[in-house]
Structure 1
Amino acid sequence: MTPTAAHLLDALPQTQCTRCGYPDCAGYAEAIAAHEADINQCPPGGAEGVQRLARLTGRPVRAIDPQFGVEGPRALAVIDEAWCIGCTLCLDACPTDAIVGIHKRMHTVIDAHCTGCELCIPACPVDCISLETVTPGRSGWQAWSQEQADHARARYEAHASRRAKAAPSAAPANDAQADAPDATDRKRAIVEAALARARAAAKDLRKP
């Protein structure tokens, strides 16, 4: 029997890291079900994850394709609060809302909600986020439980629902909206202003 995307999704670790080449775990599951993706594209699931998908699909077990990454220990994102400028870009990037903070104030990571997806790292304009290994010697499903996967999945679904409700309507923009700067320009302005404040604060600290 051909497995459904829902069954395949249940077998994935729900880190929502996008390393498989799809926007989330559900997208990858749908691609596998449609025979558009192989079963060895999920580094967080590792070798055991491939075995789970192989049992469901009847496809042969294969090593993780290195173009998608390598299996490794679980990591948590850590924010250097001394360098955080409060730009909120990492909040937008986090798929499980594991980062908390407000504009122009330092942010922090709630460990229990972090999947180690790494999506916040390229989003940070001041490189104040790093990864800390929390399961040395254990990787894949040996470093990640079904309970954690279920928790991450619930967090992601809540995050996606909130984002969908907050999205602007698809109605045509009026002239005023057309003249307004787009979201990228606004975020760039926010970051530049925050960096300027951070440089000014650092300069004041260096004064005798």
Structure 2
Amino acid sequence: MSVSPESPSLTDQINALLPQTQCGQCGYCGCRPYAEAIASGSADINQCPPSGDEGIRDIAGLLGVAAKPLNPKFGVHKPPSVAFIVEEDCIGCTKCIAACPVDAILGAPKFMHTVIASECTGCELCIAPCPVDCVIMQPSPPNHAEVSRKQRSAQAKRRYDARCLRKEKEEADKAERAKKKKLALLKMQAAKK
């Protein structure tokens, strides 16, 4: 397959077909690394449980290869679901917020958290870090079915990309503050001499 400079790379095309849950069930740390592995030939097309048979068929079609069933080693395809936080059990630890790859959980330390159901990808990454087991999965709301798989994937990718940019900015700001603090300490030490 020949790709012109203006067209998306093979990795980009594969990534666009993945659900953007960033769940890691495929054995990679997110959808893009899995797409890169498929494009390079180091991963098979049937390792993404959230994609299910439909997603596998789409990737197979793009690559011009035969579709195959989901490899059960990586999990099973489940109906769409969203996380739900049992409010009376939530202690406000913020661990679920840190784990959410699409910033679909709102809350503050020591206060109850909540999930924005329309933004939740159902990745289940918020369940394990919860120390009080107050995060449960529920079937997606009925209006979720009205949104196509492709639209949900694009929305999840936008939210994931926005979260990544926010985290990069936070890290850069943190490094800048540390640099300024170090310079201030050096100036104070020099003034004492």
Q: Tell me if the contact between 1:74 and 1:135 (Cα under 8 Å) persists in the aligned partners.
A: no
Q: Tell me if the contact between 2:60 and 2:66 (Cα under 8 Å) persists in the aligned partners.
A: yes
Taking a change above 3 Å as real, the CA distance of residues 135 and 68 of structure 1, as seen in their structure-2 partners, is farther
Q: Deviations over 1:92-118 (max 9, x none)?
A: 000110000001000000011000000
Number of equivalenced pairs:
169
Provide the C-alpha distance between the structure 2 equivalents of 1:143 and 1:124, rounded to a whole number of angstroms: 29
- Partner AA of 2:81 in structure 1: A
| Unpaired runs of at least 5, structure 1 | 175-208
Normalising by structure 1, we get a TM-score of: 0.75
Deviation at 1:13, TM superposition (A): 1.3
Q: Which residues in structure 2 correspond to 1:96-135 (within 5 Å)?
A: 96-134=102-140
Tell me which residue corresponds to 1:158.
162
Q: Deviations over 1:166-188 (max 9, x none)?
A: 1244999x8xxxxxxxxxxxxxx
Choose from 19, 32, 36 the match for 1:26. Answer: 32
Q: Which residues in structure 2 correspond to 1:1-208 (within 5 Å)?
A: 1=1, 4-134=10-140, 145-167=149-171, 168-169=174-175
Q: CA RMSD in A?
A: 2.4
Deviation at 1:22, TM superposition (A): 1.0
Normalising by structure 2, we get a TM-score of: 0.81
Displaced runs of 4+ in structure 1, greater than 3 A? Answer: 141-144, 168-172
Provide the C-alpha distance between the structure 1 equivalents of 2:108 and 2:101, rounded to a whole number of angstroms: 17
Q: Tell me if the contact between 2:49 and 2:78 (Cα under 8 Å) persists in the aligned partners.
A: yes
Provide the C-alpha distance between the structure 2 equivalents of 1:135 and 1:87, rounded to a whole number of angstroms: 26
Counterpart secondary structure, 1:122:
coil
Q: Deviations over 1:42-70 (max 9, x none)?
A: 11110010111101112221110111111
Provide the C-alpha distance between the structure 2 equivalents of 1:134 and 1:112, rounded to a whole number of angstroms: 9
Tell me which residue corresponds to 1:200.
none
Deviation at 1:75, TM superposition (A): 0.6
